[in-house]
Amino acid sequence: MSERKPLMVGNWKMNASHLEAIQMVQKLAYRLETEDYQRAEVVVAPAFTALRSVQLTIEQDHMLIGLAAQDCHWEESGAFTGEVSAPMLAKLACRYVIVGHSERRRMFGETDEIVNKKARAVLANGMSPIICVGETLEEREAGDAEQVVTSQVKAAMSRLDQPGEVVVAYEPVWAIGTGRNALPDDAGLMAEIIRDKIREAHGSDVADRVRILYGGSVNPGNIKDFMAKKHIDGALVGGASLDPDQFAAIVRYWR
Ligand code: 13P
């Protein structure tokens, strides 16, 4: 079985101007030490308008923090007013692009098919998609969580050239921004189910390599319990990642 390096991603969502974003990444870097980066890959996902500034700050200060975008379009270029393409993000040295976040599925009508197209565009441009999946409260209460999540994973990962480069983030919709995190046992079980599904579709090498993150009200107080789960390889953090002290404490959960 391959070693999966823990991955901690701060999804800043629609927060922070580029000036604020520069300060946030500087504060985060100030709080982290070499050993933290050895133990975990640390990534921030600012808004599009802050990517260039954060990229330059990271490069100038030789920070070991990685950069992610929060979304992209699936076409390389063209008449898509307001959209940003994967090649544009690759040029900004993004390592990752979040695709299919539940906020985009719910508020902007993103379907499994669109998520799959975006994942393919991200891979084609040398970056890794962070594919978000997760059930709503109604789906969980109806006993459909497993079926919903596995079908999202299957659809998002169908016909990918490099499925082993993908990151999957399990984010139950009811746990996002609510302060009500999933039980670590439940999240750990869902991560295992996701890995089994990937094994079934793409084989053991891919399944052992793909990192599966948990997201939904992660904070410094609960991260350790999630990271103790065999199939959870990191976290996608929203609210708590806006505070460099809190996000640094999440990265350093093992201390
Ligand atoms: P919160 O950590 O604010 O619940 O957000 C989770 C999330 O949506 C990360 O993508």
Q: What is the number of the ligand 1 atom nearest to the C-alpha of 177?
A: 4
CA distance 2 to 22: 35
11 lines ligand 1 (CB under 6 A): yes
- For residues 86 and 72, the answer to whether their CB atoms sit within 8 Å is yes
CA distance 79 to 51: 22
For the question of residue 83 being annotated catalytic, the response is no
Distance 79 CA to ligand 1 centre (A): 31
* Averaged pLDDT, 119-127: 98
Pairing relationship of beta strands 234-237 and 7-11 according to DSSP bridges: parallel
The CA-based angle 180-168-211, given to 5 degrees, is 105
- For residues 235 and 218, the answer to whether their CB atoms sit within 8 Å is yes
Encode pLDDT of 5-56 as tens digits: 999 999 999 999 999 999 999 999 999 999 999 999 999 999 999 999 999 9
Position 3 scores a pLDDT of 87
Kindly report the average pLDDT of the chain as a whole number: 97
Q: Which of 41, 165, 171, 231 is catalytic?
A: 171
| Domain ranges for the chain | 7-251
Quick one: fold of 7-251?
TIM Barrel (3.20.20)
CA distance 89 to 52: 10
180 lines ligand 1 (CB under 6 A): no
Cα 169 to the center of its chain, rounded Å:
5
